[in-house]
Copies of this chain bind each other. A is one copy, B any other.
């Protein structure tokens, strides 16, 4: 390779058919791992020197050569070659150009199998951290909007039918909880990814006196892998990242769906500002919630990426198989989908113009207090099941009369139970909310407490 100035050649793809090379080369996308790859190589070279496996001078030139290369890549000056297949060999070949023979010592005691596993783990660890940070920002946005609208009342829905009045803030806090679980899962994923594979060699370990703990320490890993065959054949950490991201996108798709519904003319709960509404090329009046629709639609891509890695791994014998190369593109795509979705929704939420008057008006319509009326009877000793039945008839009566419950007289109430008294007429949206005063309930004091606690959790949690 070094002698043939005019033609760069891979030590592993020599003589490969041009189509096959194109089909197998990964440099077009694995170049994204250059930082991880160089960091791993620097740590490896330092350890080799420390252990006396390669000369200290060679390690020095390797390290400074790699630092140069990192700069070149970041400046956009690095000459990527498809015929060098992947990021590892591209960097190694360039290192050879820069520092000559010493470059050939870098690959001592390692294989691309443990090298790429190391790169991928570093990438996933960082992706977990970035995802958690973006989740925290969206949680903050939810709390901000909740606090700003802390008195706003909306109809709570089940089956997309108005069910019972709730505080808008309470509704938003449901998403806070979902996101909190997502952050927890990314944390768990990070913990399991946090293990150094380097030193596993091709699959069997290495015949050199390596100091794996030293390398782990240099790269910020908490521990070294316990089994070399598992170390090179495992991609659980990618699967777990994909599953966690898929769950998070599912949550975001639910939030997005609600933004789409709320901003429809039919709901009219929120209005999108110009900065987050898009127009139509033909209909001049349109204010479309495209950001929310795309957040919802992109969920499919992330689900697909989860499936892709699971399918790829199914039935693979140990240890490394080239199929594993296919872990990358779906992972990158998920990262590039999840993070902007979190960020864009965090930017959008505070700009929503909430129409709390309309929400509250609607919250009291449609017999949403019927449960309160049933509970009223139950508290007077009627078994709940009977109370429920009586109120169902009461609602039917009101519907036939074209009245809301608030439009009925006590006389009319009493047609369905003699236990009704004047105070039943005092039931309203605010009283309905106020009485749901249990841990996790929508009563204003509970929600205020939940908001406070949520802020504290964010301060304490990583």
Contacts and interface: CB of A to CB of B under 8 A. Distances in A.
Given A230-B174, A317-B254, A391-B284, A24 B311 contact: no
B283 A322 contact: no
Taking the full assembly, how many copies of this chain does it contain? Answer: 4
A39 interface: no
A230 B310 contact: no
Interface stretch (A69-77, A129-137, A177-185): A177-185
A263 B157 CA distance: 13
A203 B436 CA distance: 10
B300 A22 contact: no
Majority-rule SS of A interface residues: helix
Q: Which bracket fits the contact residues of A? A: 35 or more
B440 A19 contact: no
Interface stretch (A120-128, A341-349, A407-415, A417-425): A341-349
Nearest to A312: B300
A160 B321 contact: yes
Given A199-B438, A437-B205, A308 B304 contact: yes
A108 B436 contact: no
A321 B295 CA distance: 12
Contacts of A373: 284
Contact of A226 (B280, B304, B439): B439
A426 interface: no
Query: Which one of A289, A293, A344, A385 has the greatest number of beta carbons of chain B within 10 Å?
Result: A385
B206 A441 contact: yes
Nearest to A184: B192
A340 interface: yes
Interface string A340-368: 11011001100100000000001001111
A301 B280 CA distance: 33
Given A266-B266, A315-B299, A280 B158 contact: yes
Nearest to A23: B344
Interface in A153-198: 156-166, 170-171, 173-178, 181, 184-185, 188, 192
27 contacts: A12-B281, A14-B279, A111-B281, A112-B280, A156-B202, A156-B204, A159-B320, A159-B322, A161-B264, A161-B289, A163-B283, A170-B204, A177-B230, A184-B192, A201-B436, A204-B432, A208-B375, A210-B438, A228-B436, A228-B442, A247-B310, A258-B318, A283-B371, A293-B322, A293-B323, A297-B322, A301-B330
Given A159-B322, A163-B283, 7 more contacts: A24-B294, A109-B384, A170-B228, A181-B236, A206-B441, A240-B243, A246-B310
